[in-house]
Structure 1
Amino acid sequence: MRCRLKARILRALRVMAAAVILLSLTSLPASGAPDPGAAGPSRSETDIAGGETVSLAEAPFAVQIAYDTAGTRVACTGSQISASWVITARHCDSASLHSVRLDTPSLGTGGVVRTIAARYPSPAGDVLLLKLSSPHSGIYAGLSRTFPAAGSVARVFGWGVETEGAGAMSAQLKAAAVEVSGHGADAFGGLSVRAQSRTGHPLAGDSGGPLMVGGKLVGVLSTSSVLPGGVPSSFTGFYNDHAAVSRHLGWITVVTGVGGD
């Protein structure tokens, strides 16, 4: 009798521990992550600090994730991977996520808007696939089959301001150089590509945005270090974790039909 009671207690403790772990994983968004249900990017929804403004030709696959049907309440970033599919971060998912804006470097204007027909969160980490309501031909981000080597030069893209909590996203697409430092964990405990910031640093509104190495999409921004007040003299003391595309590639191919290179 005493042994059976002890076994029941141990099982109960294991269930409680699992629940605590699950809650801790699902409530851990990117640093300063936007509330998708908030009234658009008027609050502290910042993107790349530092970096530089770039033309659409630098990242024609970059898309804006919007929390209205008009494509104006932008709060996350994504990448188009085929005519019908966009990839972004799972923590950007919300009942109010309704559309994406494609083919424009300008925030909330230009290009084309597509509403979301279906969404598929990855079971293995911070990745979300969005199926567009109708196809849109464009230049797509190629998916990497391999995890990038430490020391690889990489770039991140998004629509951003210069300081954390500044309260306004950049009117134009921005980019920054980062360097792959190794493995890490994303907001849901999945494998991440950890990168050290160089010329700039991605922040909350960049969530779901592309990490590019050698012209291939190797990661989806999940979390990043919180910057101190103001603009630091160097960004090299700050890191960011991107859900590893290679870890999710098999699942991505099953859902979308898009393979890797």
Structure 2
Amino acid sequence: MQKSIAAVAAATVIAAGLFAAAPASALTASTKVVGGEKAPATSSIVQLEASGGDIPAGYVSTCTGEQVSPSWVLTARHCIDGIGAMNVYHSNSTANRGTPVAVDRVTAAPAGDIALVHLRTSYALSSYAQLDLAATAKTSGTGTIQGYGLRANAVQSDGLYQATVSLTGSSTDAYRGRAQHVTGVTGASNHGDSGGPLLVNGKVVGVCSTGDSADPGANTTAGSNYALLAQSASWIRSTAGV
């Protein structure tokens, strides 16, 4: 169901291990991907900032997203629940984010912790995030996670980070959908990485949904669950035109 951004009023999901974005202004120190390394520059992995709705006055919450076309950004469903407004930033710097692009409507996938947000004004890129809409959960191999979330011990990220993870079987996401479980090799996901990509062979197979623990601290081998795009593949194609 598509909703005007001003009409979003769903209750925010709060569950053990869920990477629900923390209000940025409430953090004395925030973090990014735990461990890992700076990711290559890319305008398609974007920063999402939400406010209003169920978010307390004066606060904002942050997530990560993937721009898949001039008008649509892919992220996690729990990043849109209960919000009143959202902006998208294309800079890979969290200190100098550049000009915001407003979101005018959001829509949740029929299955899984997956959502699409629509840009009020189209924002053309030289290339967009490539999706694998057929990938299933794997019990072996590796992938790459990316995000703007908190780093170790809740230190604020200064930009986009990435880490290598092991693919460790099937699991469920925050909405009981199908997910890929991962464990960190060089780093792990944290708050603010919600909606960020799990890349396998260079394509997005899932978006960050929940963690095995609510706070990974400095544990670079922590586990998390990425909602698989395949469970809502036809909806993604028809909604975003990809």
| TM-score, normalised by the number of residues in structure 1 | 0.76
Q: Is the 8 A contact 2:183 2:223 kept in 1?
A: yes
1:180 aligns with 2:161: no
Kindly provide the amino acid, as one letter, of the partner of residue 239 in structure 1: G
Q: Is the 8 A contact 2:51 2:83 kept in 1?
A: no
Deviation at residue 227 of structure 1 after TM alignment: 7.4
Q: Is the 8 A contact 2:208 2:225 kept in 1?
A: yes
User: Structure 1, residues 100-153: CA drift from partner, whole Å, max 9, x if none?
Assistant: 111x21015244421011100112111110000111111211110322533232
Identity of aligned residues (%): 31
Deviation at residue 191 of structure 1 after TM alignment: 0.5
1:84–1:108 Cα change, 3 Å: farther
Q: Which residue of 2 aligns with 1:122?
A: 109
Q: Name which of 53, 64, 82 aligns with 2:47.
A: 64
Kindly provide the amino acid, as one letter, of the partner of residue 140 in structure 1: Y
1:106–1:79 Cα change, 3 Å: same
Q: Which residue of 2 aligns with 1:49?
A: 34
1:98–1:228 Cα change, 3 Å: closer
Deviation at residue 26 of structure 1 after TM alignment: 4.9
1:193–1:101 Cα change, 3 Å: same
Deviation at residue 61 of structure 1 after TM alignment: 1.5
1:141 aligns with 2:163: no
SS in 1 for 2:152: coil
Q: Is the 8 A contact 1:147 1:193 kept in 2?
A: no
SS in 1 for 2:192: helix
Deviation at residue 221 of structure 1 after TM alignment: 0.2
1:189 aligns with 2:172: no
Deviation at residue 56 of structure 1 after TM alignment: 1.2
1:256 aligns with 2:240: yes
RMSD over aligned Cα atoms: 2.6
Q: Which residue of 2 aligns with 1:17?
A: none
| Ranges in structure 1 where 5+ consecutive residues have no aligned partner | 1-24
User: Structure 1, residues 5-57: CA drift from partner, whole Å, max 9, x if none?
Assistant: xxxxxxxxxxxxxxxxxxxx95437535234xx46462575431111122314
Give 1:79-98 correspondences, 5 Å limit: 79-93=66-80, 94-98=82-86
Matches of 1:30 and 1:123, distance apart in 2 = 22
Kindly provide the amino acid, as one letter, of the partner of residue 110 in structure 2: P
Which is bigger in relative contact order (C-alpha 8 A, separation at least 6)?
2
Task: Say which one has the larger Rg.
Answer: 1
1:105 aligns with 2:92: yes
| TM-score, normalised by the number of residues in structure 2 | 0.81
Give 1:194-213 correspondences, 5 Å limit: 194-213=181-200
User: Structure 1, residues 211-235: CA drift from partner, whole Å, max 9, x if none?
Assistant: 1111111000000133778534xx3
Matches of 1:196 and 1:39, distance apart in 2 = 26
Give 1:16-55 correspondences, 5 Å limit: 26-28=13-15, 30-35=17-22, 38=23, 40=25, 42=27, 46-55=31-40
Matches of 1:158 and 1:255, distance apart in 2 = 24
Matches of 2:93 and 2:183, distance apart in 1 = 27
User: Structure 1, residues 134-180: CA drift from partner, whole Å, max 9, x if none?
Assistant: 1111121111032253323211111244324x2x4211211110121
| Ranges in structure 2 where 5+ consecutive residues have no aligned partner | 1-11, 53-58
Q: Which residue of 2 aligns with 1:226?
A: 213
Q: Is the 8 A contact 2:134 2:233 kept in 1?
A: no
